[in-house]
Structure 1
Amino acid sequence: MNQKNERIGRVQEINRFPVKSVLGESLSSAPVDSRGILGDRLWAIKNEDGKFGSGKTTRRFQQMEGLFNFKAKYEQDTPLITMPDGTEYRGDQERVNKALSELLGFPVTLAKEESISHFDEGPISIITTSALKMLSKDLGEIADSRRFRANLVIETEATGYLEDEWVDQLIQVGESVTLKIVAPLQRCIMVNNPQEELKQDARILKTLATHHAAMFGVWAKVERCGEIRVGDEAILLK
């Protein structure tokens, strides 16, 4: 290793979200291509106006309440959608659209990404355990990583929001994958939303806004493809 390179820590979690703004799956390893973790946010719930379901409304996205009540994972290349009552539907079956529409209260379809990206910011999102500890300190209790829907959680021994210093730099993850850190992640109200046993908590975004300009984590684009695994070393390349 180049003496100037800096070991950041190890990959603690790899998370993939087959359907945008829906709960996803935790992986022990994952292929990474130029688009990001293979299959991440490749699907979205689309309304009749062509907007994709999200936690906020923008030019491309439509806020849809209750998306965290659904969960998605892949069976090979096909997403499996789990409804709030535990019923599973394959993403390639027409009846999934009827079930989603009935539960959301308006017509929607499960749509695979075409010309418009389903990403809010970019391909891969990263948070660190040091940032989680900093937020937990400001919050006065443990901040749960699931609220931030990060593709990678990196376990570090450092303190504070060290990822702020990574912008425009390269990080190698494992033996093959290289990521370029592009920008900090501006957080929205989605971090407050309930999911699984986590309750609605308006203090999360408020605390981030007060102490860290509502930023948490960074997003990266892929410079070199490959495979990543839980336990892989993350190295800041100098």
Structure 2
Amino acid sequence: MAEIIGVIEQLWRYPVKSTGGERLDSVEVDERGLAGDRLYAVRDSTGKLGSGKNTRRFRRMDGLPRLSSRLGRRLDGPELYDPLGRPVADPTAFLRAYLQRPDVALAREDAVSHFDQLPVSVLTTATLDWVREAAPGAVVNVRRFRPNILLRTPPGTPPFVEDDWFGHEVSGGAGTRLALVRASERCVMTTAAQPGLPHAPEILKAIAQAHGGRLDALAEVVTPGRLSVGDELSLN
């Protein structure tokens, strides 16, 4: 029997990878994830994508979290905003000057996925409240953790309840079904300064000590549909 595990309190999409995202009331979910999520990225001449870390696929580009992006109703090109929230007329020209990297450009996803791991991230208010208690000196905001879905859980729900859902599917909204697989492995992006949020290394330290640096539930899309704020999610 399906169990209601929470209500969608916030929906987020991040049109340009590693920049601040846009908060939505409702969004289509396709096989790839939330429509338009991480569809664009800052790409250098070697094909690496701008991120908060250096790996085989990613290149650390400090300053990206201070920017934000928005798609609105369009998927054919994002709007990019500078650290003061002003729209940028020419995103590639701005990024080259802002990052001091003449070889970067704003690029749409092609054969190489822009996702770090899996396409949909679900975070509960129970876990977010725990972070606030574990790092009382930090400014804790959901934007630090970049989930797609912030799920309001019932009072008394323990932190890291997401772990109990791995291996199950959740359903909600207009036919959407997600398979919950594992947690995100958190990196310095969690601590990075962004508008209204100063650098906060104590957050990552607290998560590492209490939960091995893992936070949220990552999911794959089983059945596309639509999600809206206020939708109940049921565990199957």
Q: Does 1:119 align with 2:118?
A: no
Structure 1 counterpart of 2:27, from 9, 25, 30:
30
Measure, in 2, the Cα distance between the counterparts of 1:136 and 1:72: 26
**Residue correspondence of structure 1 range 26-105 to structure 2 within 5 A:** 26-75=23-72, 76-77=74-75, 78-89=77-88, 95-105=90-100
Shift of 1:143: 3.0
- Secondary structure of 1:20's counterpart equals coil
Closer, same or farther: CA 174–86 of 1 in aligned 2, 3 Å: closer
Measure, in 1, the Cα distance between the counterparts of 2:203 and 2:28: 32
Measure, in 2, the Cα distance between the counterparts of 1:219 and 1:185: 6
Cross-structure match for 2:175: 176
Whether the 8 Å CA contact 2:68–2:85 is kept in 1: the answer is no
Measure, in 1, the Cα distance between the counterparts of 2:134 and 2:94: 41
Measure, in 2, the Cα distance between the counterparts of 1:119 and 1:198: 24
109-118 vs 136-145, which deviates more?
A: 136-145
Amino acid at match of 1:10: V
- Secondary structure of 1:88's counterpart equals coil
Structure 1 counterpart of 2:124, from 123, 128, 143:
128
Shift of 1:86: 4.0
Amino acid at match of 2:140: A
Q: Does 1:166 align with 2:161?
A: no
Whether the 8 Å CA contact 2:181–2:218 is kept in 1: the answer is yes
202-211 vs 95-104, which deviates more?
A: 95-104
Structure 2 counterpart of 1:149, from 138, 146, 149:
146
Cross-structure match for 2:220: 221
Measure, in 1, the Cα distance between the counterparts of 2:133 and 2:91: 42
Shift of 1:124: 0.3
220-229 vs 80-89, which deviates more?
A: 80-89
Shift of 1:85: 4.4
Amino acid at match of 1:117: S
Cross-structure match for 2:232: 233
Measure, in 1, the Cα distance between the counterparts of 2:224 and 2:121: 16
Amino acid at match of 1:80: E
Structure 1 residues 40-64: Cα deviation after superposition (integer angstroms, max 9, x where no partner): 0000001121110001111111000
Structure 2 counterpart of 1:17, from 14, 18, 25:
14
- Secondary structure of 1:89's counterpart equals coil
Whether the 8 Å CA contact 2:167–2:181 is kept in 1: the answer is yes
Measure, in 2, the Cα distance between the counterparts of 1:143 and 1:6: 29
- Secondary structure of 1:10's counterpart equals strand
Whether the 8 Å CA contact 2:83–2:195 is kept in 1: the answer is no
Amino acid at match of 2:130: M
Amino acid at match of 1:56: K
Measure, in 2, the Cα distance between the counterparts of 1:11 and 1:87: 29
Cross-structure match for 1:205: 204
What is the TM-score normalised by the length of structure 2?
0.94
What is the total number of aligned residue pairs between the two structures? 230
Amino acid at match of 1:109: A
- Secondary structure of 2:78's counterpart equals strand
When you count strand as a share of all residues, which structure comes out higher? Answer: 1
Q: Which runs of 4+ in 1 moved over 4 A?
A: none
Shift of 1:99: 1.3
Gaps of 5+ in 2: none
Structure 1 residues 58-114: Cα deviation after superposition (integer angstroms, max 9, x where no partner): 111100000012110014222001123444236xxxx32111101100121000000
Structure 1 residues 191-216: Cα deviation after superposition (integer angstroms, max 9, x where no partner): 00111111101100000011111111
